[in-house]
Amino acid sequence: MSHERLADVTDGTDTSPEGSDSAEIAAGANDPYAADTRLTTEGPVYTVSGGDWDEVLEDATHDERIVINLGPQHPSTHGVLRLVLELEGETVTQARSVIGYLHTGIEKNVEYRNWTQGVTFVTRMDYLAPLHNETAYCLAIEKLLGVEAPRRAQTVRVLLMELNRISSHLVALATGGMELGALTAMTAGFREREEVLHLLEHLTGLRMNHAFIRPGGLSQDLPDDYHEKITDFLKVMDSRLPQYDKLLTGQPIWRRRLEGVGYLPLDGCMQLGMTGPILRSAGLPWDLRKVEPYCGYEEYDFEVPTATEADCFARYLLRVEEIHQSLKIVKQCLAKLEPGPVMVADGKIAWPAQLTIGSDGMGNSLEHVRKIMGQSMESLIHHFKLVTEGFDVPAGQVYVPVESPRGELGYHLVSDGGTRPLRVHVREPSFVNLQSMPAMSEGSLVADVIAAVASIDPVMGGVDR
């Protein structure tokens, strides 16, 4: 509430709760920005709407200009995004992005689940980078708990995140190509992404939304043949990645469509809070894996590619080079993986990890159930309470960021000492980066808006969450 509105309420003579509510509503009635209000037995309830776009765009009506909607649509896999563009001929004079069509309420839902159950929610926000969401969320919980995942679990987390980064960048290249008419780029990008998803399914059990990374470590260890499968994948990627340079990098039409388009220099990036490839394309080598290492990233040898052109083509080149660097890190992870536990030893935190699946592919096998129930009544009770209620997390608040494929992905968690979060808020890079769309697009042709949005690579599941 503004200071003026607060003064209007507090200056009233009626000091009763009902009088305060009435005064507040009366004060808000003259405020064009106030939400609609109605009184209930529990106090005033505010209804916030998205506003009337006809009124919002009244200042954009000119005889020589036209306002068009791009969307709300699902351009490739960016998600349901609406762009409101004011055009003069084919030149964009004003651009706005309209979000909220994919809203899931995940942040609020997590507050009604125990800490471990929250993993199954956050993995669905940026659905192209589920493992980065899981890792950031679990690192924040572990910071509140004052524990650290075992070394093997941390190495596996790095391995999975870099595989996830590769698959995410491949989608960015594929969808960007499709939106600009390079359909072969789409088929090639999704072909390689399938290789990554097949590997992730073998390693974690699921192609996406894995819920494999848990507070304290991992849900279970990697399968026995992980080394062989990952080595085969690396050979496939090493043979296919050079094809992208032949198909796109040197292709004159591709270069003309991207070079000098979607320009956003370093000062603009800093003012808008850009991170990830957008910021690095303007020349700043800001990568949290190097700046604030986590999960042992300081032990890995890799480069942070940068450019100074600050355009769509620079962002394309950076993503291709980041795929090469991620493959380099994956090779180092294979060399670093040593035998050991994948979950903390504390029995009051460690979710049952060594699960075995029943013959029908669902639930736990009878052998596993017998093992749990046959130990002792106390261990069975503990197992039941851990799974149903979860564990207590000391009161406090933390913010933990990681470097997702789109930039800084940070989790701010607040605990009141209970078995579920008091508050979960995510600094989602797609949400912040989407602010750059008007700066990249206004003054350019409407066709270049498509290239600019593709170079931002927003995922609306993360934007709306």
Calpha distance 26→329 (Å, rounded): 61
From first to last of the 465 residues of the chain, give the pLDDT tens digit: 444 443 443 344 444 444 455 555 455 555 555 667 778 776 777 665 555 555 655 655 566 778 888 877 665 546 788 888 888 888 999 998 888 888 888 999 999 999 998 999 999 998 899 999 999 999 999 999 999 999 999 999 999 999 999 999 999 999 888 888 888 989 999 999 999 999 999 999 888 998 899 999 998 889 889 999 999 999 999 999 998 888 898 889 999 999 999 999 999 999 999 999 999 999 999 999 999 999 999 999 999 999 999 999 999 999 999 999 999 999 999 999 989 988 888 877 887 655 555 555 555 666 666 766 676 777 777 777 777 888 889 999 999 999 999 999 999 999 999 999 999 999 999 999 999 999 999 899 999 999 999 999 899 888 888
Q: Can you give the pLDDT at residue 356? A: 55
What does CATH list as the number for 106-346+391-464?
Answer: 1.10.645.10
Q: Can you give the pLDDT at residue 380? A: 74
List beta partners, residue 85: 68, 95
The tokens describing 29, both together, are 């009635």
Q: Can you give the pLDDT at residue 360? A: 58
Cis before 17 (ω within 30): no
Calpha distance 454→312 (Å, rounded): 8
Q: Can you give the pLDDT at residue 98? A: 87
Q: Is 293 helix (H, G, I), strand (E, B) or coil?
A: coil
pLDDT digits (tens, 9 = 90+) for 125-163: 988 999 999 999 999 999 999 999 999 999 999 999 999
Domain range summary for the chain, segments of one domain joined by +? 3-47, 106-346+391-464
Say if strands 407-415 and 423-427 run parallel, antiparallel, or are unpaired: antiparallel
Q: Is 229 helix (H, G, I), strand (E, B) or coil?
A: helix
Q: SS3 for 65-91, per residue?
A: CEEEEEEEECCCCCCCEEEEEEEECCE
CB atoms within 10 A of CB 366: 11
- Smallest Cα–Cα separation from 346: which of 382, 317, 301, 376? 382
Q: Is 124 helix (H, G, I), strand (E, B) or coil?
A: coil
- Smallest Cα–Cα separation from 405: which of 324, 287, 292, 313? 287
The tokens describing 179, both together, are 């939106």
Q: Can you give the pLDDT at residue 46? A: 67
Q: Can you give the pLDDT at residue 102? A: 83
Mean pLDDT of the chain: 84
DSSP 88-105: ETTEEEEEEEE--TT---
Element (H, E) at 408: strand 407-415
Calpha distance 381→152 (Å, rounded): 29
The pTM (predicted TM-score) of the whole model is: 0.83
